[in-house]
C-alpha cells in the first residue's frame, strides 16, 4: 500500500494503517530517538510516545513536504521535552574554534561511534545530534532549546573535543594491538 493511502487511513484512525505506518518507520525513527535519549530504554519510550503524538496529530499533516520530515520533527521535540531538566552552560564567546575528528572507518565501527555519542553528557549530545546528525543551524538549535547561539557553539565544541579524545584513544589502542 502506498504511503499516501496509509496516512489517509491513519487519519481515519484505522488500526491496521497505524500498524503499517509503525512497521514502515519504527527502525528509522528509533535511531532518531536514540540520538536524543539518555539510553536505549528512554529511546524506546520516546519512540512509543512519539508515535502516539504522530497518530494524534496526523490530521495536521497536509502532504506538503515529506511525512518523514514532519514526523521526525515531532519525535525530536518530544525527546527534547523529556530532557527539559538539562542545564546548558551559558557561553557568551562566539569565537569558538572548530574541532575536526578524523575517523578511520576500518578501525572504528559504527556501533562504537553510536556508543560514544550516546555517552556524551545530555547537553552536548543534544546539540551535537541536532547540528551534526540532523543538520539544524545554530540559530535553529538556539530557538528550539531556548539558549544562545554561543551556547550551542560551545556545547558542540565540547562534544567534538570529547569525541575526538575517545576516537584517538581507541585508535591508539587498536594501533598498539596490531603492532604486537
- Taking the chain (180 residues) in runs of 10, the rounded mean pLDDT of each run is 92 96 96 88 94 96 92 91 65 51 59 85 92 92 90 92 85 55
Neighbours of 27 (CB within 10 A): 9
Length of the chain: 180
> What's the CA gap between 96 and 74, in Å, rounded?
31
Q: How many CB atoms lie within 10 A of CB 2?
A: 7
Distance CA 104, CA 101 (A): 10
- Give the separation between CA 162 and CA 134, rounded to whole angstroms: 19
Residues 6+ apart with CB under 8 A from 137: 131
The pLDDT, as a whole number, for residue 173 is: 58
| pTM, full prediction | 0.70
DSSP assignment letter at 129: I
Q: How far is CA 3 from CA 11, 22, 36, 167, in A?
A: 12, 12, 26, 40
Q: Quote the CA–CA distance of 51 and 44 in Å, as a whole number.
A: 11
Which residue stretches of 14-66 are H helix? 15-35, 40-57
Q: Identify the pLDDT of residue 172.
A: 62
pLDDT for res 68 = 95
For 52, half-sphere exposure in the C-beta direction (CA atoms, 13 angstrom radius) is 8
Q: Which residue has the cell 584517538?
A: 168
| Cα angle for residues 74, 79, 85 (degrees, 5° grid) | 135
Contact 43, 30 (CB under 8 A): yes
Quote the CA–CA distance of 159 and 162 in Å, as a whole number. Answer: 5
Q: What is the per-residue pLDDT for 108?
A: 67
Q: How far apart, in whole angstroms, are the C-alpha atoms of residue 118 and residue 42? A: 12
pLDDT of residue 95: 47
Amino acid at each position: 500500500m502506498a504511503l499516501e493511502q496509509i496516512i489517509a487511513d491513519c487519519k481515519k484512525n484505522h488500526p491496521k494503517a497505524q500498524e503499517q505506518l509503525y512497521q514502515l518507520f519504527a527502525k528509522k525513527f528509533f535511531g532518531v530517538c536514540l540520538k536524543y535519549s539518555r539510553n536505549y530504554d528512554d529511546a524506546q519510550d520516546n519512540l512509543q510516545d512519539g508515535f502516539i503524538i504522530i497518530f494524534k496529530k496526523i490530521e495536521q499533516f497536509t502532504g506538503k513536504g515529506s511525512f518523514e520530515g514532519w514526523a521526525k520533527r515531532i519525535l525530536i521535540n518530544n525527546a527534547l521535552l523529556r530532557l527539559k531538566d538539562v542545564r546548558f552552560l551559558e557561553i557568551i564567546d562566539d569565537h569558538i574554534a572548530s574541532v575536526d575528528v578524523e575517523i578511520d572507518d576500518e578501525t572504528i565501527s559504527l556501533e562504537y561511534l553510536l556508543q560514544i555519542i550516546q555517552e556524551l553528557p545530555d547537553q552536548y549530545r543534544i546539540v551535537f545530534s541536532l547540528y551534526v546528525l540532523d543538520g539544524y543551524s545554530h540559530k535553529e538549535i538556539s530557538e528550539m532549546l531556548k539558549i544562545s547561539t554561543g551556547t550551542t557553539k560551545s556545547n558542540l565544541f565540547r562534544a567534538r573535543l570529547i569525541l575526538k579524545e575517545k576516537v584517538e584513544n581507541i585508535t591508539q589502542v587498536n594501533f598498539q594491538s596490531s603492532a604486537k
